[in-house]
Amino acid sequence: MTEKLSACPICNNADEAFYLEGKDYFLTKEPFQIVECRTCGFRYTNPRPTEESSGKYYQSEDYISHDAGKNGLIPALYGIARYFTLRSKFGIVKRYSPGNSILDIGCGTGEFLNYCQKKGYKCTGVEPSEKARTFAETNYKLDVKTDFLNGLEATSRFDCITLWHVLEHIHQLDKTMMKLTHVLSPGAILIVALPNSNSHDASSYQEFWAAFDLPRHLYHFNRESLIALAKKHQLSCHKILPQKLDSYYISLLSEKYKRGSANYFNAFFHGFLSNIKARVPQIGHSSEIYILKHKIS
């Protein structure tokens, strides 16, 4: 079941233009459309699956783990990339967070929080998938809630909240943003990692760009639209950091969607070029990490 948004999720203007039509290359092969707001330029999937019916688009072992127990170059590369990103993610938290309480939304099986926990951080997770949540609770003894909007104690506050490639999946965008700003402690940071639909690899692969990930990705942010959303919720952007490995991984997957098989040379070329072209501020990297803060702090 789908729903049609009557207005832009950021600026509420109803005037939208067709942007592109893509497919759920990953799972169902169903077609979906992306539109662009004529007022603020925000790109979003419209129509989109309703929150209640979106479960079927996540019914794949691949989507939960991406790598565990899989053979082949893409899962192997993803595994290596994850090892390095785990350390670099913690490095960012350590550098920018004013304290040691952390909330990771969409924590999955809890690898990142477990890393933080070992470094002495007080960790809380949110994960709607029961299977992933149980794994995190059992194996890493983490405190993982089912639902962010209703699952936290009223007095909970955090020095750092992370959403690693999660915000683009969330149906209730404004409610979630409001709740996020509410549970940040004074001086706290909100870390949001997202694919960037202005990046060179997005422009090269167009409807085959793997990070459109239709219909799981409901929003297709770029720097301008993420900063507009932050501003709407009284947050300011303190820093934008690149996720340079993502351009290679996304290009490899995009090659597979476009040609039916992965052309490693093309993928490497586009991944490399994407990181070079990212120097232009209006373009940016394939995926980027935003460090947001309350405007008053």
Looking at the DSSP bridge assignments, the partners of residue 10 are none
Distance CA 166, CA 146 (A): 15
Residue 50 is encoded by which pair of tokens? 């309703």
Question: Is 226 among the residues that bind Zn ion (CB under 5 A)?
Answer: no
Looking at the DSSP bridge assignments, the partners of residue 122 are 101
DSSP codes of every residue in 65-111: HSSTT--SHHHHHHHHHHHHHHHHHHHHHHHH-SSSEEEEET-TTSH
Among 8, 102, 193, 252, the residue binding Zn ion under the rule CB under 5 A is 8
Could you tell me the CA-to-CA distances from 159 to 52, 57, 163, 173, 231 in Å, in that order? 32, 33, 14, 21, 20
Nearest to 32 by CA among 156, 239, 218, 159: 218
Region of 4-12, 82-90, 140-148, 284-292 interacting with Zn ion (CB under 5 A): 4-12
Considering only residues 168 to 207 of the shown chain, the ones binding Zn ion according to CB under 5 A are none
Nearest to 90 by CA among 125, 124, 119, 127: 119
Among 2, 28, 33, 39, the residue binding Zn ion under the rule CB under 5 A is 39
Residue 29 is encoded by which pair of tokens? 């092969």
Question: Is 11 among the residues that bind Zn ion (CB under 5 A)?
Answer: yes
Any idea what the Cα angle at residue 246 is, between residues 221 and 45, rounded to 5°? Answer: 30
Q: Which is nearer to Zn ion, 40 or 237 (CB)?
A: 40
Question: Is 227 among the residues that bind Zn ion (CB under 5 A)?
Answer: no
CA 294 and chain centroid, separation: 20
Question: Is 228 among the residues that bind Zn ion (CB under 5 A)?
Answer: no
Measured from the CB of residue 296, what is the shortest distance to Zn ion in angstroms?
25
Q: Which is nearer to Zn ion, 14 or 149 (CB)?
A: 14
Q: Which is nearer to Zn ion, 232 or 277 (CB)?
A: 232
Residue 264 is encoded by which pair of tokens? 């490693």
Among 35, 37, 126, 283, the residue binding Zn ion under the rule CB under 5 A is 37
Among 20, 27, 40, 240, the residue binding Zn ion under the rule CB under 5 A is 40
Residue 23 is encoded by which pair of tokens? 């497919």
Measured from the CB of residue 161, what is the shortest distance to Zn ion in angstroms?
25
Measured from the CB of residue 131, what is the shortest distance to Zn ion in angstroms?
36
Question: Is 42 among the residues that bind Zn ion (CB under 5 A)?
Answer: yes
Measured from the CB of residue 30, what is the shortest distance to Zn ion in angstroms?
25
Site string for Zn ion, 81-120 (x = CB under 5 A): ----------------------------------------
Distance CA 64, CA 201 (A): 24
Chain residues that interact with Zn ion, rule: CB under 5 A: 8, 10-11, 37, 39-40, 42
